[in-house]
Amino acid sequence: MKLTFSPISQTTVERLMPIELACHSHPWTEKLLRSCIGGRYFGSYAELDNQVVGFYIADNVVGETTLMDICVAPDHQGQGFGTKILQHYFAQAKQRQCTTGFLEVRASNHSAKMLYINHGYIETGRRTGYYPKAVGYEDAIVMCKELS
């Protein structure tokens, strides 16, 4: 069993949407996901035995990258796939000559925050009331990492 990565394309979006829908309380729409393919955006999905286990989407603007979306299928969480997907993202960002990485994470998403902290991200700010919840909004934690 070998984990393989392939670039996200318009033809693979249908395979990613079930994971997006399962991972987020307020998931991206298919239209939004499709709009983040090509141009300044890059992303890959991870497969194990022809089953998609996760993916990421990022952008690249003048040497800075933002991890915009990262998902691991619920039945594959807690098995190290998040780390492998994040490492793939770092390698792709470096190939694109990005030197700094940013992301935003829900303040309540403790497992994701720990994943990012364990990979060198530091908290640099907070966006008050950024993410919608079932009732109201919650803060986003802004994090940064030097990639060089």
Q: What is the pLDDT of residues 7-28, one digit of tens each?
A: 999 999 999 999 999 999 999 9
- Residue pLDDT, tens place only, 76-93: 999 999 999 999 999 999
Catalytic residue among 30, 64, 104, 138: 104
For the question of residue 137 being annotated catalytic, the response is: no
31: number of Cβ within 10 Å: 8
> How sure is the predictor about 148, in pLDDT bands with cuts at 50, 70 and 90?
confident
148: number of Cβ within 10 Å: 8
CATH number for the domain whose boundaries are 3-146: 3.40.630.30
Per-residue pLDDT, averaged over 124-133, amounts to: 96
In this structure, what token pair is assigned to residue 100?
């700094």
Each as own residue / partner, the long-range contacts of residues 79-82 (CB below 8 Å, 24 or more positions apart, any chain) are: 81/3, 81/46, 81/53, 81/54, 82/54, 82/112, 82/115
What pLDDT, on the 0 to 100 scale, is given for residue 39? 94
Catalytic residue among 45, 116, 121, 131: 116
